[in-house]
Amino acid sequence: MQRALRPSALVPPGFVVESAVWDGMTTVITVRPTGDAGLCPGCKAISGRIHSRYQRRLTDLPLAGRPVRLMVVARRFRCDTTLCARRIFTERFDDGILAPWARRTTRLDFVFHHLGLALGGRPAASFARRLMMPVSNDTLLRVVRRHGCPPFAAPNVIGIDDWAWRRNQRYGTIICDLERRRPITLLPDREPATAQAWLAEQPQIAVIARDRGGGYALAATKALPHTTQVADRWHLMENASHAFLDAVRKSMRQVRAAVGSATINPDLLTAAERIQYDGYLRREDTNSAILKQAETGVSIKEIVRLTGRSRGLVRRVLRGQRSDVFRVRESSLESHLPWLDAQWAASHRNGADLWRCLKARGFRGSLRVVAEWATRRRRAEAADDKSLQRVPSARTIARLMTTGRDTLSKSETVTIAAIEHGVPLLVEAREVITAFHTMIRKKSHADLDPWLERACVSLVASFANGLTKDKAAVNAAITTSWSNGQTEGQITKLKLVKRQMYGRAKLDLLQARLIGAT
């Protein structure tokens, strides 16, 4: 049954419409409360003695595409309680309708809160003006801050990880409830003491999923020693891949000897590769000076003082991690490589023509980039003795050794075959890493101890030693279903919120927007 729409249905409950006019820009609605008495905020006594009336100007939700201003005829009451310090008090309304001293209704404040959560300050203010609810960006952020974060239920399974305020300079910590799939708090730094203090207040936690950094492991061990710690499986797989890459870097001298390119023929290099080769020769002079000092038993600190090089550089040289001839960086052609490969397979191999076609597809690079790529492809297809004298970078070798042979070119296949024949320790390291990946994917818990015994005598021994120290967490990663993937996803959302606010939001505002929105 249809019911008539009364004007009072358009205003907040508890009010009656007395009049409504339009002044050309705004709809002005005069309302009065329906109650007969008021509640004293001091003694909580009810009084019906009216002292006077006054008007409150409020902003409400728009009506028919026009801004609305409510003129509330509010009352002042006399308090008859003898011991009450208030003799006269103003009329109070339900906080769900109108808060004390508020300039807008609660339902409009609710809309502003969600606009601020979704869009932040300035974008939300611009959108609100289009919705006929004009508001400043500062007001929106104050609304978000005032509402803050809702209280969270005591978690039993959490994920903890760090996130960057500013990369390589300042970091914070995010903690997520993995069972309810939501973030619950942000910590201002990633110091173990800060995480330990928060964990100590949550004794009911049974499982902590974390990365392989030692800080959170130490905090969890001190605060909740009986809790099960779970190493993140993605980080385990990533660390294993990096361990194999380090093994390749340490073996680059043997690789060059196996390929037969201990000395490189500059005539076979492209212009860009020749520049990198010159840099390699300069690096080799520095490397030899550092290695000569180390052979005489000089400490790293003394080598730093004598050579003037940084401690990190000296450590990389001593670990054999600075012997790459060619350093591969991400190319501007990366997103266009599938198209280029298809054109190359179709015998369209003119560098200038390929560049013109790419330019029509939106490529902004120069002709030289495409010409260098075409030159490398052309030389890669010539599998002769001279092609072996150009050794790829350690990263490229690691990729080629772990890629199926059916995807390699003829030259790449010959190069990898020579490396496998000349450096069998690299082949063993690859098999060890492959076995580790298979163990993680299939969750073969029984294979962990035999794998550690085998890995500890290979080129990835440092990785295996690190897993031995964190063996309980690695066991839990294999046997349980918990992982830190959810936390990584929440960090992605946090980065979006932080960048929306140009990195200027403080911790309370970031926390209100990230956690309040869930």
**Residues 401-419 as b or e (16 or more Cβ within 10 Å = b):** beeeeeebeebbebbbebb
* Predicted local confidence at residue 324, as pLDDT: 67
Q: Give, as one character, the DSSP assignment of residue 475.
A: H
d(C-alpha 358, C-alpha 337), whole Å = 11
What residue type is assigned to position 231 of the chain? A
* Predicted local confidence at residue 437, as pLDDT: 94
- 3 state SS of 104: strand
In Å, how far are 6, 15, 63, 194 from 3, measured between CA atoms?
9, 19, 20, 60
Q: Would you tell me the crossing angle of helices 424-442 and 471-479 to the nearest 10 degrees?
A: 50
End-to-end Cα distance, the chain: 38
Can you give the pTM of this predicted structure? 0.69
Contacts for 172 with CB less than 8 Å, ≥ 6 apart: 162, 163, 164, 165, 186, 187, 188, 189, 190, 507
- Residues pairing with 60 in the sheet: 68
d(C-alpha 225, C-alpha 301), whole Å = 37
d(C-alpha 125, C-alpha 141), whole Å = 10
d(C-alpha 236, C-alpha 260), whole Å = 35
How many Cβ atoms from other residues are within 10 Å of residue 297's Cβ?
7
What residue type is assigned to position 267 of the chain? D
Tell me which residue has tokens 């003829």.
410
* Predicted local confidence at residue 265, as pLDDT: 61
* Predicted local confidence at residue 273, as pLDDT: 67
* Predicted local confidence at residue 263, as pLDDT: 53
Contacts for 342 with CB less than 8 Å, ≥ 6 apart: none
Cα-flanking dihedrals φ and ψ of residue 333, to 5°? -85, -5
Q: Both tokens of residue 156?
A: 């039993």
Digitized pLDDT (tens) for each residue of the chain, 518 residues in all? 567 778 778 888 889 898 889 888 889 999 999 888 888 988 888 998 999 999 999 999 998 888 999 999 999 999 988 888 889 999 888 888 888 888 999 999 999 999 998 888 889 999 999 999 999 999 999 999 998 888 888 999 999 999 998 888 889 999 999 999 999 999 999 999 999 999 999 999 999 999 888 889 999 999 999 999 999 999 999 999 999 999 999 888 888 888 765 456 666 566 666 777 777 778 888 888 888 888 888 888 888 888 888 888 888 888 776 666 666 555 677 778 888 888 888 888 888 888 888 888 888 888 888 888 888 777 766 644 444 456 778 888 898 888 877 777 767 777 888 888 889 999 999 999 999 999 999 988 888 999 999 999 999 999 999 999 999 999 999 999 999 989 999 999 999 998 888 877 888 899 999 988 77
